[in-house]
Amino acid sequence: MKKNVVDRFLKYVGYNTQSDNNSTSCPSTEGQLVFGKMLAEELIRIGMLDVEVDWNGYVMATLPANSDLMAPVVGFVAHMDTSPDCSGRNVRPRVIDCYDGNDILLNDEKNIVLSTKRFPEILKYKGEQIIVTDGTTLLGADDKAGLAEIVTTMEFLLAHPEIKHGKVRVAFTPDEEIGRGADHFYVPGFGADYAYTMDGGELGELQYENFNAASAHLVFHGVNVHPGSAKDKMRNSLLLANQFIANLPVGEVPEHTEKYEGFYHLVKFHGQVDKTELEFIIRDFDKESFEQRKFKLVTMVQDLNIKHHETVAEISVKDQYYNMKEMIDPQFYIVELAKEAMISCDVEPKVVPVRGGTDGSRLSYMGLPCPNIFGGGHNFHGEYEYIPTNSMESACRVIVAIISKVAGL
């Protein structure tokens, strides 16, 4: 499977499928629809059944059972879009056949270097084949590695009918990177008892916990007066916003947190004297701490208004997604099944929390329990992204093992 999954991945990253948060359509970009139609054609070509692309760009297909075993229907899900954080246009991947353990010069002209000091994890793959960028775009392993792994595994199983299995469903979603991947996912139509997203990072990752997530939009109202006559009249909304930020816990930001630690993350600051707008995202694994974080922001705004005896600030908080652990715990055997599959493939399971969200988090709350499995990539969403090809092959073998174990074999 290794050659097939690598060739397929190199083909997929050539499609520009960046999602666009400013678009109201679904999918948010035309490139995803073009890519989705190509994927559907490929699924038909390898022999999958019930292949469809709906009007929102979702691709679904069936690997039919090839035995009389009464097995649950398992699904595998990956997303077609790449992050808007870094260009996905004209991706030019480079295959390094035997990584020597040194820094990698990605782009000579711009002196962009994949440094082992900054990214020491790459040293684990010395002697292996890895795929890197040319330093000007992301690679797209998030999540075109997952797509390539799923399609390659389906092709392998169709070519090897001696491997008995039950019915398997696959789904490819648009706009996961902008939080909309499950918006139009029709769970009853998918028809799986449970599923796995192939959207994790390094070899062995297995995830069934993710952040509870919310966004907060704040508006600070100022009064603009000529600075020469502003005494006791001007109110600078920029300074109000800065004071608000300064009153948040200094260490509770992404750059100072890890593992199960939550944070406030300022993602937008735009304004002038009379009006300033801030956008925060709020993240926490613990539901109670998550609620406390939201309450803290609301209370800070209320206190600011009380201090000024008028409304100088407004806040709107919106929940985005929740920790899927709550939905997966009652069916924890699906996590144990994935662990067993990894071990049978000589892959050490690394159970880690998702410091973000996946389609699986929302799908779990929609009635489709959906842990997340590694795709093999590192340094997602930027020009330092890379993927070892052995990890991609291992992901394919793990999918086969899961399908076999679901069938009780």
What is the residue-wise DSSP string for 308-377? HTS--EEEEEEEEE--THHHHGGGTHHHHHHHHHHHHTT---EE--BSS--HHHHHHHTT----EEE---
Count, residues in the chain: 409
pLDDT value of residue 409:
62
Contacts of 193 (CB under 8 A, 6+ apart): 72, 73, 74
pLDDT tens per residue across span 67-86: 887 899 999 999 999 999 99
**Closest alpha carbon to 53 in 63, 65, 41:** 41
Q: How far apart are CA 80 and CA 148, in angstroms?
A: 11
Q: Amino acid identity, residue 316?
A: S
> Phi and psi at residue 265, in whole multiples of 5°?
-130, 115
pLDDT value of residue 408:
84
* Helix or strand (DSSP H, E) at 193: none
Q: Is 111 exposed, middle or buried (0-12, 13-18, 19+ CB in 10 A)?
A: exposed
E-assigned strands of 143-211? Answer: 168-173, 194-200, 205-207
Q: Amino acid identity, residue 300?
A: M
State the catalytic residues: 81, 176
Q: What is the largest CA-CA distance in the chain?
A: 86
Domain ranges of the chain: 2-209+323-406, 212-321
Q: 212-321 is classed in which CATH architecture?
A: 2-Layer Sandwich (3.30)
pLDDT value of residue 9:
98
Q: How far apart are CA 182 and CA 367, in angstroms?
A: 12
Our CA angle for 11, 146, 385, nearest 5°, is 75
pLDDT value of residue 257:
96
* Full-model pTM: 0.89
**Beta strand pairing call for 372-374 and 205-207:** antiparallel
pLDDT value of residue 367:
96
Beta bridge partners of 154: none
Question: Was domain 2-209+323-406 assigned CATH 3.40.630.10?
Answer: yes
Q: Amino acid identity, residue 310?
A: E
**Closest alpha carbon to 39 in 16, 66, 58:** 58
- Mark the ranges of the chain whose per-residue pLDDT is less than 70: 409
Q: How far apart are CA 101 and CA 117, in angstroms?
A: 11
User: What's the Cα-to-Cα distance from 170 to each of 32, 62, 70, 147, 157, rounded to whole Å?
Assistant: 17, 6, 19, 10, 13
**Intrachain domains 2-209+323-406 and 212-321 with the same fold:** no
Sign of CA dihedral 405, 144, 35, 59: positive
pLDDT tens per residue across span 279-311: 999 999 999 999 999 999 999 999 999 999 999
